[in-house]
Amino acid sequence: MTDYYERLGVSRDADGNEIKKAYRRLAMDSHPDRNNSPDAEDRFREVTEAYEVLRDPEKRALYDRYGEAGVKRGAGGGPGFGGFDFSDAFEVFMREFGGMSGLGDLFGGRGRPSRGPRRGSDLRMRLSVSLEEAARGAQRSVKVKVLDPCDSCEGTGAEAGTRPERCSTCGGAGQVRQVQRSMLGQFVSVRPCPACNGAGETISSPCGQCGGNGRRKVERMIELEIPAGVSTDDYLKLSGKGNAGASGGPRGDILVLVDVESDPAFERHGDDLVTNLAVTMSQAALGDEVEVATIIDGAARLKVPAGIQSGQALRLRGKGMPRLRESGRGDHIVRVLVWTPTQLSKDEKELFEKLRAVESPAPEPDLEEPGFWERVKRAFTA
């Protein structure tokens, strides 16, 4: 039995921020959408379970005092922490990092009914978009395979003219109780009825079209609206567009994990974009006005001030990425690189020699006084 702190790889006095950071890293790494190894789903569930306890000061205090028993039973009661399964883990993950879905939806507490119609499963997919699409926002049609209610039995799974019958093993409850006695006392466990798989109903003559499942797989085009400003790992959520539930249950959701492709011309730092601009030595010394290609505004005029140093950064305000679901945009930062000529024509050589005869020597570099770009770079690598 591993310790929750060990699972997240944090010390026992880690603060909330460290815990969240550690969880994000581990959850991203073990998320079954990105990790195909067979134990990824278990690891994802385990780190999420640990996170869900340690992020909550009350649960964490109970855990510190009583260990797992303190958070798994009693204490606050309710459906509680007894069976923390994969869909719980996925909801926690969405709540923490599903920046684009309404949090209300996620907290909307769709309990897991133990009998009768069940909510269909969520459909998860990845979608790659270019940086420009992420900047402009985009519309995409995507083909999905999704379970629809079978039209010949209307989702019941029973042959036309018949109806599902109440399960005789569980009497329709969908659950069976099992009592075990041992030296330590009596344990009552409740598990889904094995005869009806928890549905509470059985079908004696299954529908010929769907084999009694009540659902059939169909291919459908869905329209995705990718909002301007998305980043890799943002989720889009299409509520109620996922798989139909068993026994006529409601549909699950479609969850689209966005992947923003890297762009050879632009480095992205949050809402800011950075590009490089090469200038000649005379442009740097005398100043100039140049054109810079921006992500969605075409060519922008940029004034290069006289005396700029190689590595300094200039800012085109508001020409970066739009802020997701907010107004305003980040900046486009132009990193200026002074290019030293490698092959001089006869004229150039003469001029440089004349220049050398009159120019003042370069000053000692002042390491105490970082230039603007140094500061920008630090801010970005922090």
Give the shortest CB-6-to-Zn ion separation in angstroms: 40
Q: Given the complex with Zn ion, which of 53 and 153 has the nearer CB atom?
A: 153
Q: Given the complex with Zn ion, which of 210 and 333 has the nearer CB atom?
A: 210
Q: Given the complex with Zn ion, which of 167 and 258 has the nearer CB atom?
A: 167
Q: How far apart are CA 359 and CA 353, in angstroms?
A: 10
Give the shortest CB-159-to-Zn ion separation in angstroms: 8
Give the shortest CB-167-to-Zn ion separation in angstroms: 3
Give the shortest CB-166-to-Zn ion separation in angstroms: 8
Give the shortest CB-227-to-Zn ion separation in angstroms: 38
Q: Given the complex with Zn ion, which of 10 and 196 has the nearer CB atom?
A: 196
Q: Given the complex with Zn ion, which of 72 and 215 has the nearer CB atom?
A: 215
Residue of 347, 348, 333 whose CA lies nearest to 280:
348
SS3 track for the chain: CCCHHHHHCCCCCCCHHHHHHHHHHHHHHHCCCCCCCCCHHHHHHHHHHHHHHHCCHHHHHHHHHHCHHHHHCCCCCCCCCCCCCHHHHHHHHHHHHCCCCCHHHHHCCCCCCCCCCCCCCCEEEEEEECHHHHHHCEEEEEEEEEEEECCCCCCCCECCCCCCEECCCCCCCCEEEEEEEECCEEEEEEEECCCCCCCCEECCCECCCCCCCCEEEEEEEEEEEECCCCCCCCEEEECCCCCCCHHHCCCCCEEEEEEECCCCCCEEECCEEEEEEEEEHHHHHHCEEEEEECCCCCEEEEEECCCCCCCCEEEECCCCCECCCCCCECCEEEEEEEECCCCCCHHHHHHHHHHHHHCCCCCCCCCCCCCHHHHHHHHHHC
Whose tokens are 């630090």? That residue is: 378
C-alpha distances in angstroms, 162 versus 36, 199, 200, 208, 313? 42, 17, 17, 12, 75
- Would residue 350 be called left, alpha or beta, if left means φ above 0 and alpha means ψ between -120 and 50 degrees? alpha
Q: Given the complex with Zn ion, which of 171 and 240 has the nearer CB atom?
A: 171
Q: Given the complex with Zn ion, which of 53 and 196 has the nearer CB atom?
A: 196
Binding residues for Zn ion (CB under 5 A): 150, 152-153, 167, 169-170, 193, 195-196, 207, 209-210
Give the shortest CB-120-to-Zn ion separation in angstroms: 15
Give the shortest CB-40-to-Zn ion separation in angstroms: 32
Give the shortest CB-200-to-Zn ion separation in angstroms: 6
Q: Given the complex with Zn ion, which of 79 and 208 has the nearer CB atom?
A: 208
**63: exposed, middle or buried (C-beta count within 10 Å: 0-12, 13-18, 19+)?**
buried
Give the shortest CB-4-to-Zn ion separation in angstroms: 36
Give the shortest CB-201-to-Zn ion separation in angstroms: 8
Q: Given the complex with Zn ion, which of 114 and 231 has the nearer CB atom?
A: 114
Q: Given the complex with Zn ion, which of 98 and 157 has the nearer CB atom?
A: 157
